């Protein structure tokens, strides 16, 4: 887990540099400047037939299916670049993962950019390129886009909205209605890396950082899980609000209780150390490449075997963290490492603003 060279960047939007090219208000006017920006930066990176047609909308085939999954997400992460990724990578993974969690095959993305006047064009180019790379790796096409420009001081470098369209080829969408008594709760890996990687940049702690954001595309591991015949009763990726939000949303959606064993939840030792330094609880810290899934006890071994194959490194062990108790009140009980039970609440405020 080496930290990438991006890690030494400051977390504010890079300030003007002598001789550099910048976004101006005219880039958002819908005239020649807008066209050039689209041609030279966006089409260059995302090029495909649907986009190149430059129509008002892209016309897409769903390969014989008439059911789609649709998800939308806006990304406002600060800094724009951090160890393990940037806002462009997040904008792809975040939306692709939402589709994968619903059991759909991600196919298409739209990309809406809100640029701040004064953004350096080479920063935008880097972000657009890493977004294009992430989309290519995920096998999704960026088929429609939009660019707006706001005056300096009314935005923050780049905000990106991605909306994803996934295809359904069967009816097996995981959901609250599928959850059963005794379903096992599996966690795909360790928690807290993304949030702490972003915090490390903000706090100037990246020099010897031994981990990076966990951001990744979860569609392949879900596809392998289905191929292996694992019954998927419910899935959710852990993003804002961390593991605690996901399990509390599960409890509320199903109307069930659950017990989680804190000691089973893996945390990278450096993440743990930074959490202690910064006064954060890893259970509430954002992730961008981890998810929980519910499956009957009989499928746990197969599921863990598949998760192991996709494991990132020694600290990212998938694990069984608890079980569903249908008859209990809808709350999450955490058996702490010192043997005491406590209720794991949803975060009520904001621990780490603008983490995705």
For a second copy, the binding residues in 262-281 under the rule CB under 8 A are none
Q: Is 164 in contact with 140 (CB distance < 8 Å)?
A: yes
**Collapsed DSSP state (helix, strand, coil) of residue 259:** strand
Q: Could you say which of 120, 231, 237, 288 contacts a second copy (CB under 8 A)?
A: 237
Q: Could you say which of 8, 40, 55, 336 contacts a second copy (CB under 8 A)?
A: 55
Residues 204-233 touching a second copy, rule: CB under 8 A, are none
CB of 114 to a second copy, least distance (A): 5
Pick between residue 12 and residue 44 the one whose CB is nearest to a second copy.
12
Stretch that binds a second copy, among 144-152, 273-281, 301-309, 322-330 (CB under 8 A): 144-152
CB of 66 to a second copy, least distance (A): 4
Among 136, 214, 165, which residue's Cα sits nearest to residue 60? 165
CB of 344 to a second copy, least distance (A): 12
Q: Please work out the total of residues on this chain that contact a second copy, with binding judged by CB under 8 A.
A: 88
Q: Could you say which of 1, 9, 253, 264 contacts a second copy (CB under 8 A)?
A: 253
Structure tokens at 131: 């977004």
Q: Could you say which of 118, 155, 192, 318 contacts a second copy (CB under 8 A)?
A: 155
Give the Cα separation of 180 and 5 in Å (integer): 46
Structure tokens at 117: 């006047």
**Contact call for residue 179 and a second copy (CB under 8 A):** no
Residues 286-345 touching a second copy, rule: CB under 8 A, are 286
Give the Cα separation of 337 and 27 in Å (integer): 55
Q: Could you say which of 1, 43, 68, 320 contacts a second copy (CB under 8 A)?
A: 68
CB of 243 to a second copy, least distance (A): 12
Give the Cα separation of 159 and 87 in Å (integer): 8
Structure tokens at 328: 């209990």
Give the Cα separation of 104 and 218 in Å (integer): 11
CB of 255 to a second copy, least distance (A): 13
**Contact call for residue 14 and a second copy (CB under 8 A):** no
Question: CA 80, 84, 89, 91 torsion: positive or negative?
Answer: negative
**Contact call for residue 247 and a second copy (CB under 8 A):** no
Q: Rounded to whole angstroms, what are the CA distances from 57 to 33, 52, 63?
A: 21, 11, 19
**Collapsed DSSP state (helix, strand, coil) of residue 151:** coil
Structure tokens at 317: 């062990």
Residues 75-134 touching a second copy, rule: CB under 8 A, are 75-76, 97-99, 101-102, 104, 108, 110-114
């Amino acid at each position: 887990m080496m930290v990438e060279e991006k890690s030494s960047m400051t977390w504010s939007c890079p300030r003007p540099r002598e001789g550099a090219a910048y976004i101006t208000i005219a880039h958002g006017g819908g005239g020649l400047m807008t066209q050039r920006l689209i041609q030279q930066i966006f089409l260059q990176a995302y090029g495909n037939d649907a986009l190149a047609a430059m129509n008002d909308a892209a016309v897409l085939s769903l390969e014989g299916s008439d059911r789609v999954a649709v998800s939308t997400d806006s990304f406002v992460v600060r800094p724009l670049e951090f160890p393990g990724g940037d806002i462009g990578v997040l904008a792809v993974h975040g939306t692709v993962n939402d589709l994968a969690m619903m059991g759909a095959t991600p196919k298409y993305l739209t990309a809406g950019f809100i640029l701040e006047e004064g953004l350096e064009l080479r920063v935008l180019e880097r972000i657009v390129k890493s977004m294009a790379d992430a989309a290519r790796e995920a096998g999704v096409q960026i088929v429609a886009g939009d660019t707006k420009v706001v005056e300096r001081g009314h935005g923050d470098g780049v905000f990106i909205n991605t909306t994803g369209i996934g295809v359904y080829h069967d009816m097996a969408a995981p959901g609250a209605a599928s959850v059963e008594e005794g379903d096992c709760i599996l966690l795909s890996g360790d928690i807290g890396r993304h949030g702490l990687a972003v915090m490390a940049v903000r706090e100037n702690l990246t020099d010897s950082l031994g981990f990076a954001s966990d951001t990744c595309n979860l569609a392949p591991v879900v596809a392998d899980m289905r191929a292996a015949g694992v019954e998927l009763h419910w899935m959710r990726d852990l993003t804002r609000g961390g593991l605690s939000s996901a399990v509390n949303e599960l409890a509320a959606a199903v109307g069930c209780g659950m017990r989680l064993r804190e000691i089973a939840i893996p945390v990278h030792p450096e993440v743990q150390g930074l959490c202690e330094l910064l006064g954060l609880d890893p259970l509430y810290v954002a992730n961008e490449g981890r998810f929980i899934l519910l499956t009957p006890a009989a499928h746990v071994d197969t599921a863990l075997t598949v998760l192991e194959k996709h494991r990132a490194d020694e600290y990212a062990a998938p694990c069984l963290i608890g079980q569903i108790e249908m008859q209990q009140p809808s709350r999450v009980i955490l058996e702490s490492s010192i043997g005491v039970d406590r209720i794991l609440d949803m975060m009520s405020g904001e621990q780490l603003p603008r983490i995705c």
